[in-house]
Amino acid sequence: MSIAVSNTIGLVAISLFIVLTLSYLGKLLKYPDLVKHEFSHPVIGSFFGTVGISILLLSSVISSYSADAQLVVWAIGTAVTLALSVIMISRLLNGSAAPTSVVPSWLIAGVGSLDIVVTGGGLTAAWTHEVNLLAAAIGGVSAIVFFVMIFSRLVHHEPLAEAMRPSKMILVAPFAVGFIAYVNLVQKVDMFAALLFYFALFLFVIISWRLVVRPAPFSPSWWGIGFPMAALSNSALVYASAVGGEILGAIAVLLLFLLTVSIVVLSIRTLYNLIVRRV
């Protein structure tokens, strides 16, 4: 039963990726200048990194059907992710970024490189190990640098726009994803891995509490909480499985429950808004 559910979700994910890819290609053909503007935008441009991340995650879905296909898709996702990381980071070195443009979505470039290790840590091809080390180096260091820059901006400059406040949850991602990537590299849960997990959990509690106490109006930016929560839930399951204990198991189950509820609520609200606007 669980395998059937997993396969169904995987097929839905692949279908959605194809639909979204074709839709954006249509937008590129019809409005090339608009897409160029979005790509070069200091805030919106960061979200192009999700393209590579999506391909990498799909490689894990495809692994259930073909190991060779998984390797090919992973290689494509790796190339796209590293290329986008180079472009995004090189662009920032131009020195023209305003303090208000420093937003949590900047972390996507670093987290994307870490996802290479998350999805490729179990590959057996000889060349993949060095690629994983390269990705871990790029993702780990750049995520730390961007985290410090973003945290400094949130403390010393004007707050994020109300609609962007949910994107603060992205701050959890480098540590949650970093935990999984690190465990995949060293093949064990050690003290450093535990530190990454607990700091991710610490940030999640703080950011969640702030969003509960002062909720932001619903907007597409609320979807920014999904990926960090999924990464933290996965980290909690891995950590609880390795360390054991009822409390850790309960935390993992709670996080998975919160993730499921969040995705369901966001899906319903998004569909409702689309229907209302059409009507």
Instruction: List the chain pLDDT tens, one digit each, 279 residues.
Output: 567 777 787 788 888 889 888 988 998 898 888 988 888 887 788 888 888 899 999 988 888 888 888 899 999 999 999 999 988 888 878 777 777 778 888 888 778 899 999 998 888 888 989 999 999 999 999 999 999 989 988 888 888 888 888 889 999 999 999 999 999 999 999 999 999 999 999 999 999 999 988 888 888 888 888 899 999 999 999 999 999 888 999 999 999 999 999 999 998 988 888 887 753
**pTM of the shown model:** 0.89
**CA 19 – CA 38 distance, rounded (Å):** 20
| Tokens found for residue 147 | 């985290």
| Tokens found for residue 49 | 């990194």
Question: What is the rounded radius of gyration, in angstroms, for the C-alpha atoms of the chain?
Answer: 19
| Tokens found for residue 182 | 């690190």
Nearest to 175 by CA among 201, 145, 155: 201
Domains and CATH numbers, the chain: 2-278 (1.50.10.150)
What lies within 8 Å, CB to CB, of 246 at 6+ separation is none
**CA 240 – CA 264 distance, rounded (Å):** 25
Q: Are 143 and 151 in contact (CB under 8 A)?
A: no
What lies within 8 Å, CB to CB, of 90 at 6+ separation is none
Tokens 């949130």, located at residue: 154
Q: Tell me, what's the pLDDT at 105? A: 84
What lies within 8 Å, CB to CB, of 156 at 6+ separation is none
Q: Tell me, what's the pLDDT at 2? A: 63
Nearest to 170 by CA among 186, 191, 154, 192: 154
Q: Tell me, what's the pLDDT at 60? A: 87
Query: Residue 1, class by beta-carbon neighbours within 10 Å (0-12 exposed, 13-18 middle, 19+ buried)?
Result: exposed
Query: Residue 242, class by beta-carbon neighbours within 10 Å (0-12 exposed, 13-18 middle, 19+ buried)?
Result: middle
Nearest to 222 by CA among 155, 152, 273, 181: 273
Q: Tell me, what's the pLDDT at 279? A: 39
Distances (CA, A) of 97 to 43, 104, 110, 167: 10, 14, 18, 19
**CA 136 – CA 134 distance, rounded (Å):** 5
Alpha helices (H) in 93-127, listed in sequence order: 108-120
